[in-house]
Amino acid sequence: MNGGTGKRSTYHKIAYDVLQSRRPQSAVDSLLEAAEIGDDKKLMELVSKYRTIINLKCVSSGDTALITAARNGHSNIVEYLMKSGADPTLQNDIGENALDVGPPHIRDILLSQLSKERPSTANRLLQAAWLGDSVTVKKNLSGGIINVNCKNSEGLTPLLLVTRDIKTFDKVHRVMKTDYDPLGVMQELLKHKADLRACDSNGRTALHLISNEGSSSVGAVQAKKVVSLLLQNGSSTNITDKNGYTPLHIAAKNGHTAIIVALLEEGETDIDCRGGENRDTPLIISVREGHKETAEYLLSKGADVTLTADSGDTALSVAKTSSMTALIKDAWDKSIASEPIGVPCEGSGTESDSNTDINTDLNADTDTDTDLAGTVTAPFFITQNN
């Protein structure tokens, strides 16, 4: 079965690429132009003549006609496109969907169209999952006809969609006509054997995607619950995406401490796992991005402050403010103090003058939160590589 899923995924990508290469490019460009300037008549003619181009994207930006019309506030076109089968779950090249870019009146049109009663189809299931509509998801799956692992034109399953855009719905859930219930959606999907190993074009699983969410307090609570449910159902915390990152690396990069708590407390997660081409640790990533709370939590759970990335970076060398530097230096000093006396650390040698200079730099005054990037170098005599 696993092999079959892989074959279907490969077939889906090939078929989509073929469709893209054979599309009437001039018609797609004309459609996007009509969506941008609000030419209702021209757009309707194009959609009527070329039904297959409605969800195709701009080569340079990845915008669909729906995203373009939404951004420019064209109500009539947005409503027409939704009624004609435009897919609001699709994103452009920078991760925006139509709900993200549209002003309030466009958002209301999109949500109104999404909440309308429609026959049970794969597209209906995909959009209901994305919308966090657990009632509609349950109804669509109850007949046993629709594949729980069906995919939209970007190759995303319902499970991937519900975990990808919690930030989007965190902003709009108060005006939605249906309850936003991503946890309920996931419970229904998992009950029907949703594939936890399904991934997007970047190799990111549902656990990767949710680790990128939860920027606000509400979103963080929702995301943490979703992470817990995924872990309880067997999601792997150590699987990497195409760039070599685990969910923990992604959560660390975004400063999502609540998600990191769940990953460490409920999953079999290596706190010092290496990720990316430079084999950064989650601690190095969180410090580089300036997420002090996240760095503090990782240190409290035993993250190794002395580890060095393949680039030569350490948590200390990438600290950019005095407060972050003080936090990491304190952890570093405690790590040194815990080393057995008389046992040389990896990389130790006779360069006593260099050590003296570096330690002098580390004790420099750092009273204000100024940018210190590149001014602090990690002591080479206590660095180590896994």
Distance CA(133)–CA(99), nearest Å, equals 16
Model pLDDT for residues 259-282, shown as the tens digit of each residue: 999 999 998 899 999 999 999 999
Spans of all domains in the chain: 13-88, 305-386
pLDDT band of residue 163 (cuts 50, 70, 90) is very high
Instruction: Read off the pLDDT band of 218 (50, 70, 90).
Output: low
**Fold designation for 13-88:** 1.25.40
Chain segment 15-56, per-residue pLDDT in tens: 555 454 445 568 999 999 999 999 999 999 999 999 999 999
Inform me whether the pLDDT recorded for 377 exceeds 70: no
Alpha helix positions (H), 132-203: 134-142, 158-164, 166-172, 182-191
pTM: 0.79
pLDDT tens readout for residues 280-321: 999 999 999 999 999 999 999 999 999 999 999 999 999 999
Q: From the CB of residue 372, how many other CB atoms can be counted at a distance below 10 Å?
A: 17
Instruction: Check residue 206 and give its pLDDT.
Output: 96
Q: Give me the helices (H) in the chain, please.
A: 2-22, 25-37, 40-49, 65-71, 75-83, 98-101, 104-114, 122-131, 134-142, 158-164, 166-172, 182-191, 206-211, 217-232, 247-254, 257-266, 282-288, 292-300, 322-337, 352-362
CB 129 within 8 A of CB 137: yes
Interatomic CA distance for residues 93 and 63, integer angstroms: 7
pLDDT value, residue 210: 93
